[in-house]
Amino acid sequence: MKRHLSVYAMLWRNSLVREMTFKTNFILWIVVELCWFALQLTFISVIYLHTESIAGWSKWQVVMLIGAAHFIQEIFQALFLINCTNLSELVRTGKLDFLLLLPVNTRFLVSVRQVDLGSFVNAAIALGVMVYAARQLGFVPSALQIAAFLLLCAAGIAIHYSLMFLLATISFWTVRAQGIVWAYYNLFNVSRLPDSAFRGWFKVVFTFALPMLLVSNVPVRALTDRLESPFDILLLFSLTLLCLGLSELGWRFSVRHYTSASS
Amino acid sequence: MNKYAYVIGIGLQNTLVYRVNFLFRACFGLIPLMATIFLWRAIFEGKTGDTVAAYSLAEMISYYLVVTIVDALTAVTDDDWQIAADIRDGQISQFLLKPIDYLRYRFCLFLSGRFIYTSIAFVPVTLFILFQAEYFVLPADAATLGLFLISVALTALLQFLISYTMALLAFWILEISTFIFILFALEHLAGGHLFPLDLLPPAFGQVLAFTPFPYQMYFPVSIYLGKTAGPELWQGLIIQLFWVTAAYLLARWVWRRGIRRYAAVGG
C-alpha cells in the first residue's frame, strides 16, 4: 500500500512536468472544457425562458445538477479518462508487457498512469457554479449534507471509471476499441438531466443497467434534501460495488487472453 | 476516367474500414437524442398551453430528428484532423507536385465519407424515427422537400469549407485540436444542434442572423418544418449561397497564404 502511494505521488509529479512543458495547450484545453460547460448552461437557460419547471425541477435546481454532473465528469477525466483510452494503445503496441513485469499491481498502474491536471481547474469552476446556484435558491447546506454529497460523487466517479474501464478491456480482442470508449461519452449527456423526466424502459435501463440517472441525480438530491427515499443511496452504493466487481472480473479475464504484440 | 472520380473510389474503400466504428457512433448517438426527447416531453407535460415558442410537441421532436438526419448527411467528422495531420507531417508536399487540387481532393474524400456514414446510419436512424413515428412531421409538400434538400447541399458545402479553412491553420500553429473543439462547440450552440434558434430571445437571434452558423444546421431544418417560408425562404437561400461563396474564397486565400509559409517538415 505504501509503495503504491509513493508510485502514485511520482506519477503525479510526472504529469505536472508534462503539462508544464506545453503551457499554452494546457490553458487552451481548460478553455475547451469551459466552452462545453457553458453550452450546457446556455441550453438550460434557454429552455427555462419558456417554462417554469421540468418534471418538478426549477431552473437553479437543474443548474446545480448540471454543475454536479460536470464536477463528477471532470474529476473522472482528471484521474482516469486518458488512461482508459490509452489501454487499447498499450495492447496494440505490446507495451503492456513492460507494465505487467513491474512489481506493482498492473491494473492500478494502467488506471492511474497519467493525471490530467487541467480538469481539476474545471471541476473547481463547476463547484463555483453549484455554489452560485445554491445562493440563488437561498440554500445553505449543512456539513453532513456536503459530506454525503462528496461521498456520493465518489461513488458516481467509481461507476464511470468501472464502466469505461470495462469497455476499454474490449481492446484485448479488437484493435479499434477506442471508438467504443468514446461512445461512452454520449452517456454523460444522460447523467446531466433530471431523473424525473424519464419513464419506462429508458428509466429502467439507465437506472439499473447503466446507472447514469443515479450518478449525479442522487448526490444533488442528497445535498438539497430532495431524496424520494433513502433507498436511492443504497442503490447507488450497491451498483458501485457491482460495477467495480464486474470491471475487475472483466480485467482478469482479458489479461489472461493477452498474447502481446511483436516484441 | 476523371481523376477525382478515382479519389472518390479510394475514399469509399478507405472509409469502409471504419464501418463498425460508424455503426457504433450512429447507434450510441441515439441515446442523447432519446434523452432530449424525454426532456421535451416532460416540459410539454408540465405546461398549460400546447406550444413552446410556436412549436408543438411533435414539431419539437421532429426538429431533433431532422437535425440528426442533416447531421449524418453533412457533418465533418474526421476530415479536419486528417488535413491538419497532412500539413504537420509534410504529407501535403506530394499534392504540390501533382496536378491535383487539394481542396477538390479533400472534398471528394468528404463526399465519400458522408456517403458511407449515411448508408450505415440509415438503418438505426430510420428504425428510431419509425419508433417515434407518432411525433414525426413530414414536410408540407414536395416543393418544401426539394428546397430543404437544396439547402442541405449548401449546408454540406458550408460545413466542409469552414472546417477545411480551420484545418489549414495548421500551417501556422502546430497543435490545432483545441481550436477545432472550440469552433465545434460554437457551431453546436449557434448552429441550432441543441435547440431551435427561434427559442432564443429575438435580440440574440438577430445577431446570429449575421453569422454563418444558423446556415450550418438551423436553416435547412426550419425549411423542412415550414418555419421559414415564402420570401424569407428565398432570401435565406441567397444568404446561404453567399456564405458558401465567401467560405470558398476564404479557403482559397488561406491556402495560398499557407503554402508560402509551408516548410515541408519531414517531407
pLDDT tier, A181 (very low <50, low <70, confident <90, very high otherwise) = low
**Rounded Cα distance, B136 and B60, in Å:** 9
Q: Residues with Cβ < 8 Å from A74, sequence gap 6 or more?
A: A33, A119, A120, A122, A123, A126
In the three-class reduction of DSSP (H, G, I as helix; E, B as strand; rest coil), residue B201 is classed as coil
Q: Residues with Cβ < 8 Å from B224, sequence gap 6 or more?
A: B62, B66, B139, B144, B145, B148
Residue B34: which of A42, A55, A202 has the nearest Cβ? A202
pLDDT tier, A169 (very low <50, low <70, confident <90, very high otherwise) = confident
DSSP tag of B55: B
Please give the grid coordinates belonging to residue B10: 479510394
Distance linking the first and last C-alpha atoms of chain A: 31
Scored b (16 or more CB within 10 A) or e, A226-257 reads ebeeeebbebbbebbeebbeebeebbeebbee
> How many CA atoms within 13 Å lie on the side-chain side of A229?
4
Q: How many residues does chain B have?
A: 267
**Rounded Cα distance, A47 and A37, in Å:** 16
- Whether residues B38 and A199 touch (CB distance < 8 A) is answered with yes
**Rounded Cα distance, A210 and B195, in Å:** 26
Look up residue A72 and give its amino acid: I
DSSP tag of A54: B
Nearest CA-CA distance, residue A27 and chain B, Å: 10
φ and ψ at residue B229, rounded to 5 degrees: -150, 170
**Rounded Cα distance, B216 and B66, in Å:** 13
In the three-class reduction of DSSP (H, G, I as helix; E, B as strand; rest coil), residue B52 is classed as strand
Nearest CA-CA distance, residue A173 and chain B, Å: 14
Residue A197: which of B38, B182, B189 has the nearest Cβ? B38
**Rounded Cα distance, B89 and A206, in Å:** 43
The predicted structure's pLDDT at residue B266? 55
**Rounded Cα distance, A44 and A193, in Å:** 10
**Rounded Cα distance, B113 and A204, in Å:** 36
Cβ-contact B90, B267 below 8 angstroms: yes
B193-B196-B202-B207 Cα dihedral, nearest 10 degrees = 30
Interface of A with B (CB under 8 A): 22, 25, 28-29, 31-32, 35-36, 39, 42-43, 46-47, 49-56, 176, 179-180, 183, 186-187, 189-190, 193-194, 196-199, 202
- pLDDT tens digits along A216-241: 999 999 998 888 888 999 999 999 99
Q: How many CB pairs under 8 A join A and B?
A: 90
* Chain B residues near residue A51 by CB distance under 8 angstroms: 43, 46-47, 52
**Rounded Cα distance, B55 and A57, in Å:** 22
Q: Percentage of residues in chain B with pLDDT exceeding 90? A: 70
pLDDT tens digits for chain B (267 residues)?
688 888 888 888 888 888 888 888 888 899 999 999 999 999 999 887 888 888 999 999 999 999 999 999 999 988 899 999 988 888 888 888 888 899 999 999 999 999 999 999 999 999 999 999 999 999 999 999 999 999 999 999 999 999 999 999 999 988 888 999 999 999 999 999 999 999 999 999 899 989 999 999 999 999 999 999 889 999 999 999 999 999 999 999 999 999 888 876 654
CB of B29 within 8 Å of a chain A CB? The answer is yes
**What average pLDDT is seen over chain A?**
90
Taking residues A151-166, what's their average pLDDT? 95
**Rounded Cα distance, B97 and A115, in Å:** 44
